[in-house]
Amino acid sequence: MLKDMELLQFPDERLRRLSEPVENFDEELKLLSKEMLKIMYQSNGIGLAAPQINKTVRMIVLDVSEKRNEPMVFVNPRLEKVTGKVDSSEGCLSVPEIRATVERYKQIELCAQNIDGSEIRMKADELLSICIQHEIDHLDGKLFIDYVPNVKLQRLRKKIAKQKKLSSQKPQGTSVSIV
């Protein structure tokens, strides 16, 4: 399960695959969750879904704590109850350097399993609620930019294409910044 891990970037079509429910809560799943947390922290993210690293299983990891020391792992997460609406300025590790405003639910009730398969039920609001919703979208093959109106999306696509072109033109090797 730990083979073929890479942080996928939009427009990679593998980000659009539906994830399969987890049935085996084994050591391999625990190793995957640890690796996902490691990638998330190294990338300065607050959440990561398995599909973002080319794994089509229903697992997300996140840490919205200020000190970055409260990791959470949710397996087979689903929203049970949602209330209210809130606008959220979001970014994504799979769509780097792009931010967009997305309408999310203000409060959610989450039902999931922990890494051992035990049931978790919790209420969440604010950043935790938004992060959970964002990551569950990845499990369903959705990206935050899918919520952006078409006109704005076209501008975002052009910006992404331009950034990819510029990054491919950068010389290889070590770069030094003089401040």
The 8-class DSSP code of residue 173 comes to S
Q: What are phi and psi of 173, to 5 degrees?
A: 115, -165
Domain of residue 148 covers 13-169
pLDDT at position 174, please? 36
pLDDT at position 116, please? 97
**Model's pTM, two decimal places?**
0.85
pLDDT at position 175, please? 34
Beta bridge partner(s), residue 142: none
CATH of the domain at 126: 3.90.45.10
Residue 1 lies in a domain: no
Residue 68 lies in a domain: yes
* Amino acid type, 160: I
Residues acting as catalytic residues: 135
Residue 178 lies in a domain: no
Binned average pLDDT, 10 residues per bin, the chain of 179 residues: 78 96 97 97 97 97 97 98 96 90 96 98 98 98 87 68 68 36
Q: Which of 70, 76, 69, 60 is nearest to 132 (CA)?
A: 60
Residue 39 lies in a domain: yes
- CB-based contacts of 138: which residues, under 8 Å, 6+ apart? 15, 19, 49, 50, 51, 52, 60, 94
Residue 177 lies in a domain: no
Residue 94 lies in a domain: yes
pLDDT at position 5, please? 79
Q: Count the domains in the chain.
A: 1
pLDDT at position 22, please? 98
Residue 179 lies in a domain: no
